[in-house]
Amino acid sequence: MAEHQTPPPAELSAAPGWRPGDARPDTASMIRVDQAGEYGAIRIYRGQEAVLGPRHPAARTIARMHIQEERHLKRFDAMMVERGIRPTLLQPLWFVAGYGLGAVTALLGPNAAMACTAAIETEIDRHYAGQLRQLGDGDPELAGVIDEFRAEELEHRDAAVAAGAEDTFAYPIISSIIRAGCRVAIALSKRI
């Protein structure tokens, strides 16, 4: 007598070509790290806004990006609740580190504040693109959110470049350091 096999649920066949035994995308860690990133971005913008003040010409650009990041955070917060996902335990660290990074880059000048945004958004684009590849068509809701937010993060990067990010003294070095820190934060927030 042939044994009846039940096909895997749709959420398990997360990427095109998925077969039993293949690694599946860990959507919980994806949402956890994305929520942490949005939280960190908000803290960075708050640090920059505190140093530059509301009347600085760069403040309007930063405020617009800040508002979008707030919306992103609310969406990832809701997804965490809906899916029963815990936030990273490192959130208190990102609270301080994000604000500190924002304040320090703003103290270096408005171009350095924009360099911070350009570097982070470049790395986030890379991160989101990797998540979309991993997801394939296995979680259309999450993929749709990531794709939408990725487009807005690229707008932030482009706005930062247009506002003088690349004119910052030692831009390649500053960008490399911030991007490396971003990669470390992503790796830690996925796991902890």
Residues 158 and 154: their CA atoms lie apart, in Å, by 6
Residues 114 and 48: their CA atoms lie apart, in Å, by 10
Q: Which fold has domain 27-191?
A: Ferritin (1.20.1260)
Query: Average pLDDT, stretch 15-41?
Result: 74
Residues 80 and 144: their CA atoms lie apart, in Å, by 16
Q: Please provide the average confidence, as pLDDT, over all residues in the chain.
A: 84
For residues 136 and 15, the answer to whether their CB atoms sit within 8 Å is yes
For residues 44 and 65, the answer to whether their CB atoms sit within 8 Å is no
Query: What are the backbone angles phi and psi of residue 136, rounded to the nearest 5°?
Result: 55, -130
Largest CA distance in the chain: 78
Residues 129 and 116: their CA atoms lie apart, in Å, by 20
**What tokens appear for 187 in the block?**
């790796």
Query: Average pLDDT, stretch 118-133?
Result: 92
Tell me what pLDDT residue 12 has. Answer: 36
* pLDDT above 90 as % of the chain: 49
Per-residue burial over 40-56, b = 16 or more CB atoms within 10 Å of its CB, e = otherwise: bbbbbbbbbbebbeeeb
Whether the CA torsion 180, 33, 38, 137 is positive or negative: it is: positive
Collapsing DSSP states into helix, strand and coil, what is residue 164?
coil
Tell me what pLDDT residue 45 has. Answer: 94
The beta strand positions in 68-121, using DSSP E, are none
Q: Is the pLDDT of residue 119 over 60?
A: yes
Tell me what pLDDT residue 24 has. Answer: 58
Task: Indicate the pTM of the whole model.
Answer: 0.81
